[in-house]
Structure formats: C-alpha cells, structure tokens
C-alpha cells in the first residue's frame, strides 16, 4: 500500500514532465484506474487530463482500454471523457461493432450529466461541447451503417441504439434505418437472448410513428421486453462485452481441422516461387478437405490469390466437392464472396465448375445474405463474367430487402457490376439509383467514378429526382477531366430534360471555380 501511495505521489509531483516525456508511461493508466483506491484513480485521470492539455494522441487500443476502466468504475471526469471521445473518433473507424457498443456504454456513464449553464462562458463552452458531441455521434452512426451492411448482431444494434438515444442522438432517418435493419433480422432472431431493458429503450428511441410503420419490429421488441434477459443494464461495459462478444464462443477445432489450419499457415509462409512445395501442401489440404471447416476454404483460396499460384485443378476439386457433397449450403456469404473474388483474381478457367457452385447455393442462403457480402458476390460474378439467370433472380430479390444498408461505394459497385453482366431487372436497378440519390451527399470521388464508369449508366439517368443530386456531387467532387467528360457524354445519351443536361454538362466541362459556385440546375 505504501509503495502504491509513493508511486502516486511521484507521478503527481512530476505529472507535466512525465506526460511530455518522449516515451510517457501511459500503459500504467489502466492499472491506476483499476486499483480500488481513490488516490490511484484520481492519478490515472490526471494523466489523461494532462495529456489532453498537451494535445497528446492515444492509439485506439489504449483509448479503448482507458474507456473500459473509466466506465467499469463509474468514474465521471467529463474533461477526461471528452478527450478520450475525441481521440476515439480520430482512430476507431474500423473498430469491431461489439467494442463500439461497449465504448458507447462507457460514454453514456461518463457524459450524461445535465449541468445547468449560467455564465456566458459556460454557455459558450456548452455550445462548443454540443458541436463536438454531435460530430462524435455522427461518426458512430457512420460506423453503425457499416455494421448494418456487414450484418451486425441484433443485440449489438439494440445496445448501440439505446446508447445513442441516451446520448441525445435524434436523427429520425437513422432510427428509421435501425427499424428496417431489425425488420430484416427479427424473424430469425431469438427474443430470449436479448436484453429486456434495452428493448424498452429502443422502443422509446424509435418512437410511435416508426413502430407503427414497422409492426413486426414492434412485436419483436415487445416480446423481448416480456421474455428477454433481465438485469443486463446493471452489467459494467466490460462484463457486457465479454458476455456478448462472439469471439468468446468459438468452437474449438478438432485435430484434423487444426491440421488443415496449419497447412494453410504453412502455405502462407512458403515463398510464391516455391510452387512445388505449395502444390504439395495444397494437395495435403484437399486430402483432408471433408473433415475441415468449410468456411476455411476462403483462406485456402486466398493463398492462391496472394501467391498468384496458378493451380486451377486443385481449386476445381474443392468446388466440385462442395457441389457433390452439398457442403456449399454451409458456406457463409462472406466466404462465398471471398472465394469468388480469389478465383477472379487468378483468372480461374473452369467456368463450368464455378457455375455449378453458384447454382448449388441454397435459396435460404440467398435470403439471409447481408448487404456487403452480397455486393462482393455480385462484383466477383462480374469479374468472372457469370451470367446465371436463376442466380440473378436471387440477387435481385435479396437486394430489394437490403439495399437501404448499402454504403455509397457498395451501391456504385453493385450497379456497375450488374450492368456489366447484363442484368435486366429495371425495378432493382432504379431502386438502387434512388438509394444512391438519397445518400448522394455521402458519396466521394471513388464511388462516383465507379457509378459513372458503368457503360450503361445513361440508361439509368432518366429521372430528374434521381439524377440531379448525383450530378451535383459529381460536379463538385470529381477531379479527373476524363471522368467529367465521360459523365457529360453519358448525360447527352440520357433521357433527362435538355436544360438539366446543358447546365450539368457546362459545369462538368468548365473550370473548378464554376463547379463550386454553380450547382447543376434542378428542375422542380
């Protein structure tokens, strides 16, 4: 005890110098916060406060560990939380959804303090803090949209929605998207494994109007309130994360499955030039294929792509096995997309085997695919020139269910890919274009390049309401003269009104100054 107190005293006396050191001992912060002593916790928070004063940045993992320690022990130093919040938003764009939800729970504990503002300085600080908080919440929502596309778990969606609502997020558009996502999942979700208290909060967040528009979601949430887990609200952020993290429930590998995984790792470690060894290892894997995990094939195929290893016969054996044994129905959408893209990368020549593999994917698999993996599958089909009418019917049907969760890049990619393989369902294509227009402000140059790079995009530019928002973004965000000329050429081939074509063409082929100050004409 005396040693701990002495350590705290030493840090406190030299705090500024310690934090400004070339290698500050930030790793000690979680230990200080987790010791059940007021002095150590104050010391840990003081280090973070001093780092904030000096403008020192923390890596994502450190920020997350600090947040968990603060949240677990209900520490409420708002200056510390604000610095960690701002650091978190700078670095955590690819954080797993379970960790984002746990972090949000920490912020709820630390930032939900409604202090009455009195002086002018306090009011100014309050407004600045509100701006920072709004920016942070938008950052979280953008990450959650990625989670919707990737297929995040229902319990994570509900937990994140509860936290955002508690932190004051009020966007009806986002809560509508939450309801649509829950609607796409609740038929296969179990009410009993979700939190009753969280369901109550989600109902409040969505509100009566949204719940009335989505009666299936309302019914599901009421069932969770009735038969769901009780007491989850009392769990600390770390306890909640450990209880709900899918990574904590991975089934141990069998001996042969581990052997298969070891073979893949040995292939990864083998030089690409050593084709003899790679071939021998690949044949070893195929020999035990029936006893390996079927989803591990995406890693096996990935080695062929990474090494540019051209042994199509070996991969053909794998595809034929999946079809003949009906093991294809066990593959996840993510695995299917990864495998197809690997085949496209190495220019796989056995097209018949790929077609049979695609046809072997079950209706149930198609009906459960999430937005982002579905786009990867369609993209790979385009690269492989796979035009399978029965498969494209499944693709179109599923896109009707999940299109609203597509990011701008995925929207552009799927439109481009469908057009390149001659997809003819106009209803689906125009639905995707309407979705693109509704999210046009989120589009960047890469997404716009993909969309307007499609050979038949002029056929989709037929409605002013759809075309105008996208053209406005193209005029303001595309820097390539070649692309701008190409968009202008597509406009001239489209069925859009002449006034819109002329004004947009003028902006696209004019100078940068015109682009900024003269948005395309929008006809009402």
Neighbours of 211 (CB within 10 A): 17
DSSP letter at 421 equals T
pLDDT of the residue at 385:
94
CA–CA–CA angle 359, 362, 363 (5° rounding): 110
Q: Does residue 3 or residue 217 have the better pLDDT? A: 217
Of 428, 436, 435, give the one whose Cα is nearest residue 452. 436
Q: Which helix (H) or strand (E) holds 267?
A: helix 255-269
Residue length of the chain:
524
Cα 447 from Cα 429, distance rounded (Å):
16
Phi, psi of 510, rounded to the nearest 5 degrees: -90, -165
pLDDT of the residue at 513:
37
Residue with tokens 């840990």: 44
Cα 472 from Cα 465, distance rounded (Å):
12
DSSP letter at 306 equals H
Quick one: average pLDDT of 479-486?
Answer: 90
> What pLDDT, in 10s, does the model give residues 263-305?
999 999 999 999 999 999 999 999 999 999 999 999 999 999 9
Average pLDDT, the chain: 90
> What pLDDT, in 10s, does the model give residues 381-430?
999 999 999 999 999 999 999 999 999 999 999 999 999 999 989 999 99
Q: Does residue 24 or residue 146 have the better pLDDT? A: 146
Cα 336 from Cα 342, distance rounded (Å):
10
As to burial, measured by CB atoms within 10 angstroms (0-12 exposed, 13-18 middle, 19+ buried), residue 175 is buried
Contacts 24+ apart (CB under 8 A), 325-331: 325/290, 326/360, 327/294, 328/357, 328/360, 328/361, 328/362, 329/360, 329/361, 329/362, 329/364, 329/365, 330/294, 330/295, 331/294, 331/295, 331/297, 331/361, 331/365
As to burial, measured by CB atoms within 10 angstroms (0-12 exposed, 13-18 middle, 19+ buried), residue 116 is exposed
């Amino acid at each position: 005890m005396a040693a701990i107190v002495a350590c705290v005293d030493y840090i406190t006396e030299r705090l500024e110098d310690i934090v400004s050191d070339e290698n500050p001992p930030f790793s000690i912060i979680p230990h200080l916060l987790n010791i059940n002593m007021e002095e150590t916790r104050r010391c840990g928070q003081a280090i973070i406060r001093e780092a904030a004063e000096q403008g020192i940045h923390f890596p994502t993992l450190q920020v997350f560990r600090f947040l968990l320690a603060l949240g677990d022990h209900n520490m409420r130093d708002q200056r510390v939380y604000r610095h960690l919040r701002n650091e978190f938003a700078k670095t955590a764009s690819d954080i797993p959804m379970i960790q984002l939800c746990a972090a949000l729970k920490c912020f709820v504990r630390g930032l939900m303090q409604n202090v009455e503002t009195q002086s002018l300085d306090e009011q100014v600080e309050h407004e600045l803090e509100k701006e920072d908080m709004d920016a942070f919440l938008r950052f979280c929502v953008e990450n959650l949209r990625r989670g919707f596309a990737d297929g995040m778990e229902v319990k994570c969606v509900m937990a994140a929605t509860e936290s955002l609502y508690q932190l004051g997020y009020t966007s009806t558009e986002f809560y509508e998207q939450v309801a649509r996502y829950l609607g796409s999942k609740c038929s296969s979700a179990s009410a009993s494994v979700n939190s009753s208290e969280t369901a109550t909060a989600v109902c409040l967040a969505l509100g009566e109007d949204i719940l009335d528009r989505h009666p299936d979601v309302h019914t599901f949430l009421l069932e969770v309130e009735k038969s769901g887990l009780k007491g989850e609200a009392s769990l600390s952020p770390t306890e909640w994360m450990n209880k709900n993290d899918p990574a904590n429930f991975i089934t141990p590998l069998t001996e042969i499955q581990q052997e298969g995984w070891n073979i893949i790792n040995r292939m990864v470690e083998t030089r690409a030039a050593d084709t003899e060894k790679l071939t021998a290892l690949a044949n070893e894997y195929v020999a035990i294929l029936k006893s390996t995990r079927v989803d591990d094939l995406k890693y096996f195929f990935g080695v062929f792509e990474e090494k540019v290893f051209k042994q199509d016969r070996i991969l053909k054996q794998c595809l034929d096995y999946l079809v003949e044994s009906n093991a294809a129905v066990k593959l996840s959408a993510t695995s299917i997309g990864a495998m197809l893209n690997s085949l496209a990368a190495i220019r796989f020549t056995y097209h018949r085997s790929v077609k049979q593999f695609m046809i072997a994917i079950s209706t149930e698999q198609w009906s459960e695919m999430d937005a982002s993996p579905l786009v990867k599958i369609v993209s790979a089909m385009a690269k492989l020139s796979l035009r399978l009418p029965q498969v494209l019917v499944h693709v179109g049907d599923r896109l009707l269910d999940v299109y609203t969760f597509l990011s701008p890049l995925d929207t552009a990619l799927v439109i481009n890919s469908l057009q390149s393989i001659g997809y003819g369902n106009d209803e689906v294509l125009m639905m995707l274009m309407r979705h693109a227009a509704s999210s046009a402000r989120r589009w960047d140059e890469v997404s716009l390049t993909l969309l307007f790079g499609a050979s038949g995009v002029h056929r989709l530019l037929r409605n002013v309401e759809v075309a105008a928002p996208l053209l406005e973004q193209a005029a303001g965000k595309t820097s390539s003269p070649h692309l701008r000329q190409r968009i202008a050429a597509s406009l001239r081939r489209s069925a859009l009104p002449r006034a819109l074509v002329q004004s947009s063409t003028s902006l696209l082929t004019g100078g940068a100054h015109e682009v900024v100050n003269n948005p395309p004409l929008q006809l009402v």
